[in-house]
Chains A and B, each alone.
Chain A
């Protein structure tokens, strides 16, 4: 079970959280003006990288807040967590590939 640092509550066990998939997928400002292809990309296409991945998590059995996390998909190590609305941190390029 992972240990996840909620930006509001500190380190809590994984069972208190739920992962919401890839982060920084911006919902188009005006969806009606978005092409079918772009909208399909927004709905269905994700990067699924090997290595550091920006993800959305919610502390749903805790403070209820959504936040973002950089997690290494190989080692499961969390590089950092950060509040919603803040840009993806630069950290993470140094993560060791297991």
Chain B
């Protein structure tokens, strides 16, 4: 094999600065796994290889540097440091051995942004039609929804801090949309 120097390049766009106190920043690579299993296969267990699977629908449960986003009744998005991906995938497969499940690496499929600062919720609501009041979408909530013309996975990390994840080919659009919306809070 030839020795090749391979560079990793996310589509997370050239930095765009908006004169705004709401920051919109791309988040670097991370390990992302789509995990699917029916309730019967999980047999009541609360975690799989360090990922909590007993969280409520549309919530994010964090254990250490691993997070499990429950996006559907039988669907989770697991995130972990990029370097841990292989090890994590193997651990999950070992734990789930002999049971029906699906584990698919989507680390390169998705790109994430951090939207942070006072009125970050308004910036998201420029394109997302869901209720982001703390009552309806508390810290720790996570769901798939829409941002204008793109699907996103939205997570509330703190009252004024959100993580927006989209497919990589939508990243330029989503980034541009958020930066544009943030201009309202210059």
Instruction: Decide if A and B touch, CB cutoff 8 A.
Output: yes
A9 at the interface (CB under 8 A from B): yes
By DSSP majority rule, is chain A's interface helix, strand, loop, or mixed? loop
Q: CA–CA, A43 to B75, complex, Å?
A: 31
Cβ of B73 and Cβ of A65 under 8 Å apart?
yes
- The answer to whether A25 has its CB under 8 Å from any CB of chain B is no
Task: Give the interface SS of chain B, mostly helix, strand, loop or mixed.
Answer: strand
> How many CB-defined contacts (below 8 Å) exist between A and B?
38
Q: Number of B interface residues, CB 8 Å?
A: 13
Pick from A1, A13, A15, A63: contact of B144, CB below 8 A: A63
Interface residues in B115-170 by Cβ distance below 8 A to A read 129-130, 143-146, 151
User: Which A residues are within 8 Å of any B CB, using their own CB?
Assistant: 1, 8-9, 12-13, 15-16, 61-65
For the A-B complex with A8-B73, A62-B145, A63-B71 known, give 9 more contacts whose Cβ atoms are closer than 8 Å: A8-B57, A9-B57, A9-B143, A12-B130, A16-B146, A62-B143, A63-B58, A64-B72, A64-B75
